[in-house]
Amino acid sequence: MVNTNGLVEIRLHGRGGQGVVFAGTAIAEAAHREGKYVQSFGIYGAERRGAPVTAFVRVGDRPEMPRCQIQRPDIVVAFDAKLPREQVLKGLKPGGLLLLNCASEKDAWSFCNGRSFEVWRLDASGIAARHGLGSVGIPIINTVMLGALVRVSGVATLDSLLAVLKEKIPRNTGQNLMAAEAGFAEVRELECYAAAL
């Protein structure tokens, strides 16, 4: 997904402890490995586990990029379907793309509330728990969401992402690589939204 000026703008929303800022940095590094120009930064609320966190990523084919927060993203990534819907979806371009971590299609449909954009869903929390990342109550889902993001966005390949993860994750590396591959394999587009667009 590239907008008209060769630039993809991605906004990631989650909570402290989910690895949102790391995910933004990792996807930018994966795209940079493929010769793209990138920008990545995050903003934090209170610096504590569970507080809202937002990260911003730009991937383009030219070095000139705006230097500001992303207000009109092409892609929004929501690490938690319990985040405030209006805040997460604010500014998402019509025809844009939402990648959502939630357990069921019904929950995804409820979160999106009939908006006009692509919706991709996966149970990243379940995948992370299955691979022993975090705990059942507090799964660490960033690598799962990254695997899904490279599949739905096309901003980088899975191979580039896995290479970045091998370099950046010193512990539980194998589990994280398998979780990223599972995210890539298991993410699904909501057919109700695909039919509507």
Domains along the chain? 7-196 (3.40.920.10)
Determine the pLDDT at residue 55: 95
Taking residues 10-37, report their average pLDDT: 94
How far CA 28 is from CA of 57, 116, 143, in Å, comes to 7, 27, 14
Determine the pLDDT at residue 145: 98
Whether 144 and 79 have beta carbons less than 8 Å apart is answered as no
Number of H helices, E strands in the chain: 8, 7
Burial (CB count <10 Å: 0-12, 13-18, 19+), residue 42: middle
Backbone angles phi, psi at 56, to 5 degrees: -125, 135
28-63 pLDDT, tens digit per residue, is: 999 999 999 999 998 866 556 677 899 999 999 999
d(CA 129, CA 195): 32
SS3 of residue 78 by DSSP: strand
Backbone angles phi, psi at 19, to 5 degrees: 80, 30
